[in-house]
Chains A and B, each alone.
Chain A
């Protein structure tokens, strides 16, 4: 076995969106106990970086992924046009999937070509590329409930091995019925982290990850714990909890039984 290289990176920027938590500053304030979590459904806007035609047609999942990715990149002051990305999602566009399956079960199977190309798991990643003009590598991962951990592992691998800043965009979107009953995701939500191989004046914290079988941390606040437990992309909340409070510490993130991700965070 070769020597183990620490899986570590600096966090230079954060993006966040969840029901009642429209962005990272509001999530940070809630995690710090400075304000209460809102009660509204997640609010989505089509990012201005999309070309007009794509902006008009952008689906919920595309709006979500682009919004949190752009927030993290802006927070870090990073040039999005050169940024490698890792998209991690437990599913693709649920509404589009439902419409396709419904039509394919009908007598008229002539599905729309736009619906078809939007059905790929990497649709949000494709629109990110069109919006940012980034030709950098773009990874798209699915690991069902373990998707946040899987995305974090691959993003850290790119930072450590390829020595390149990498933007992790972990996100999930709901299915409409009847799929919702089979996969009850409550709403859109996600976490984006801009990870870099070198510390800079922008760096918020250093994060190091190892695999073990420690019990995953829960959130002490019941509303936040409900989000962590029901949205796979928000399994990273305990890490954001430390980051929000600028506390050094160690938390275990839910990954793939029996493996969990032990995360050590050191604020800059």
Chain B
């Protein structure tokens, strides 16, 4: 694939609003997870909740989009000067030439969950103020982001559960390569809701402690929310040192089970191989792997097998979900941004919460963060329904 310049990026998770807080927490090995006290949820689990989401006001003309998911999106867009970068790109290319491709698994479904508590006791109808299109529907995030910048280019949401916002990088690249667009706002936003908290609990996939990716005693995920965005443009011939590039993307399907990964990690391996092939790189060219690493026994075992088969125990790797929690449909974009930070700040991120790496998984697993220059990082994102995506990011010398 043609390398794409990632000319701007930002991430907001329970680690903090924006890159500085994220980087500081990653360096210090700090986790943002806390015991779950979200809404009326009564579950013995830990979550990654973003601070002050509900303090975020939407622009008046976008009031119809008001919901936790779009507040979190707006919060992220206004961080790290990302909105200014999009506006500058709009001035450069024109509003028709910028696409919006964003990933989410549940969008603003919390709004529907709350509306169902306010149904008319006689007729059962939903309250008049509930707006399905602008909150619940998966496209609400893409439509909100497009409207936020008054863009007029192509747009869609990708919703493949926890690989959603990795796959948007691949989709945007295809339309950049075809010349349909000149730049793309890509990213992912997922916000806390009852469906995912009670849903993962029903599958017995949530831990009662902060999640411990790749630990011998890992026993489940910490559900989290997060938002991350990136601006993709075609890479110019000469790049300044420190410029971050998307070098490759690989997508695959497990074709195995709706909510369990293939035990040998076949689909995961195909996605990583696809990313290497699309980047024209070998396994030996990768300096760091940001693992999907949800901390469920099955995910980490399957992914670990696939990574070990391709990379052996040579490549330093970690899951950062012990720090951020599992931001679900936002995880692909959040972790792409973490890779961008690692590449530009000579950082190998560690794995807060993990104490004893699983001896059955032979990887060079990073418990704590190290300072080390790296040139290329691979990021894995795998979702329910067996949807896999791996991205490779690099930094210009």
Contacts and interface: CB of A to CB of B under 8 A. Distances in A.
B25 interface: no
Contacts of B252: 135-137
Given A135-B270, A161-B178, A120 B385 contact: yes
Interface string A103-119: 01100011111001111
A92 B259 CA distance: 16
Nearest to A112: B202
Given A122-B384, A129-B385, A153 B180 contact: yes
Nearest to A209: B180
A240 interface: no
A138 B174 contact: no
Nearest to B262: A135
Given A2-B179, A109-B198, A134-B253, A118 B126 contact: no
Interface stretch (A12-20, A65-73, A140-148): A140-148
Nearest to B116: A105
A123 interface: yes
Contact of A143 (B130, B157, B195, B256): B157
Interface in B104-137: 105, 109, 112-113, 116-117, 119, 124-126, 130-133, 137
A121 B138 contact: yes
Nearest to B115: A101
A220 to B, nearest CB: 28
Most buried by A among B137, B153, B267: B137
A121 B131 CA distance: 19
B258 A142 contact: no
Given A7-B180, A130-B256, A91 B113 contact: no
A136 B253 CA distance: 6
A179 B96 CA distance: 33
Contacts of A91: 137-138
Contacts of A117: 199, 203, 258-259, 384-385
B116 A143 contact: no
A196 interface: no
B327 to A, nearest CB: 15
Given A129-B253, A142-B156, A157-B178, A113 B259 contact: yes
A162 B387 CA distance: 18
Contacts of A102: 116
Contact of A150 (B116, B154, B194): B154
Interface string B164-187: 000100010111011110100000
Interface size class of B (residues with CB under 8 A): 35 or more
B225 interface: no
Interface string B312-338: 000000000000000000000000000
B254 interface: yes
A178 B199 contact: no
Interface size class of A (residues with CB under 8 A): 35 or more
B159 interface: yes
A92 B139 CA distance: 12
Given A157-B174, A211-B180, A139 B132 contact: no
Given A113-B203, A142-B159, A5 B177 contact: yes
Nearest to B199: A116
A232 to B, nearest CB: 10
B383 interface: yes
A259 B253 CA distance: 32
B178 A135 contact: no
Nearest to B250: A137
Contacts of A134: 253, 255
A157 B172 CA distance: 9
A127 B195 CA distance: 21
Contacts of A133: 255
Contacts of A26: none
A129 B159 contact: no
Given A130-B257, A181-B126, A183-B132, A122 B96 contact: no
B155 A116 contact: no
Contacts of B347: none
Given A101-B112, A123-B385, A111 B179 contact: no
B155 A129 contact: no
A185 to B, nearest CB: 11
A231 B340 CA distance: 41
Given A105-B117, A134-B255, A100 B178 contact: no
B215 interface: no
B258 A141 contact: no
B124 A177 contact: yes
B194 A109 contact: yes
Given A2-B234, A117-B259, A183-B133, A122 B156 contact: no
Given A5-B178, A144-B133, A126 B258 contact: yes
Contacts of B140: 144
Nearest to B126: A178
Interface in B376-394: 383-387
Contacts of B274: 137
Contacts of A256: 154-155
Given A122-B160, A140-B385, 20 more contacts: A3-B179, A91-B138, A100-B195, A104-B113, A104-B116, A113-B204, A117-B259, A123-B258, A129-B255, A129-B256, A138-B387, A142-B137, A144-B140, A154-B174, A157-B178, A177-B124, A179-B112, A183-B132, A211-B180, A259-B154
Interface of B: 1, 93, 96-97, 105, 109, 112-113, 116-117, 119, 124-126, 130-133, 137-140, 142-143, 152-161, 167, 171, 173-175, 177-180, 182, 194-195, 198-200, 202-204, 234, 251-259, 266-267, 270, 274, 383-387
Question: A-B pairs with the 10 shortest C-beta distances?
Answer: A126-B385, A157-B174, A116-B199, A121-B159, A4-B179, A137-B251, A150-B156, A142-B138, A105-B116, A129-B255
